[in-house]
Amino acid sequence: MNYIYLTQDILEKIKTYREKFPLKEQAIIPSLHEILEKYRDIPEKALEELSDYLSVPLADIEGIVSFYDMFRYKKNARNHIRICRNLPCHLAKYHNILEMIKEKTGADVGKNSPDGKWYIELVECIGSCGIAPAFLINNDLYDGSKIKTDEDLKKILDKYE
């Protein structure tokens, strides 16, 4: 099969996953992360290519993509903001950070901003309870408790312009 989405650099990384893990199915999630990093979403054709390359059923890969929030089919904005809403962040009033981010970016939860720069997602946990309310912009972790003013948030968001 001639691959369009599984470029040579992605194939090399997937090959290392296949060699690292005893079961080929264990390479699915790290491989999806590689695809997501390159394309910011998961093109459906890439799933077919991954299924072929790993010799696993397409339904297995689709099941993983549909189960985990971190994988998505639709095209998202250039910057992906994930805000934790789990108990520690809830008690630390994550919704205050959420409202500030919505106002500054023009995006809403589950939607792109009109300019296509921002996408906001509420997630159950990002594993950073010690700095609640925690949030991620792309893969960068932020301590929401340090954001006291609109200017504090603006300084962070300006890094991604």
For residues 91 and 66, what is the distance between their CA atoms, to the nearest angstrom? 29
Tally the domains of the chain: 2
Whether 38 and 98 share a structural domain: no
Average per-residue pLDDT in the chain?
A: 92
Whether 42 and 90 share a structural domain: no
Q: What is the pLDDT, as a whole number, of residue 74?
A: 65
Q: At 42, is the pLDDT very low, low, confident or very high (cuts 50, 70, 90)?
A: confident
Query: Which structural domain, as residue segments, surrounds residue 101?
Result: 79-158
Q: Domain of 148: which CATH number? A: 3.40.30.10
Residue 47: what residue type?
Answer: L
Residue at token pair 């300084």: 155
Q: At 111, is the pLDDT very low, low, confident or very high (cuts 50, 70, 90)?
A: confident
Per the domain annotation, does 49 fall within a domain? Answer: yes
Q: Is the pLDDT of residue 137 over 90?
A: yes
Describe the crossing of helices 28-39 and 8-20 by its angle, rounded to 10 degrees: 160
Q: Is the pLDDT of residue 96 over 80?
A: yes
Q: Is the pLDDT of residue 70 over 80?
A: no
CB 35 within 8 A of CB 46: yes
Pick the closest to residue 135 from 81, 88, 87, 90 (CA basis): 81
- Domain boundary at 67, 99, 117, which? 67
Whether 56 and 89 share a structural domain: no
Per the domain annotation, does 2 fall within a domain? Answer: no
Percent of the chain exceeding pLDDT 90 equals 74
Pick the closest to residue 144 from 90, 108, 105 (CA basis): 90
Instruction: List CB contacts of 29: < 8 A, sequence separation 6 or more.
Output: 64, 68
| Tens-digit pLDDT profile for residues 138-161 | 989 999 999 989 999 999 999 998
Q: What is the pLDDT, as a whole number, of residue 77?
A: 83
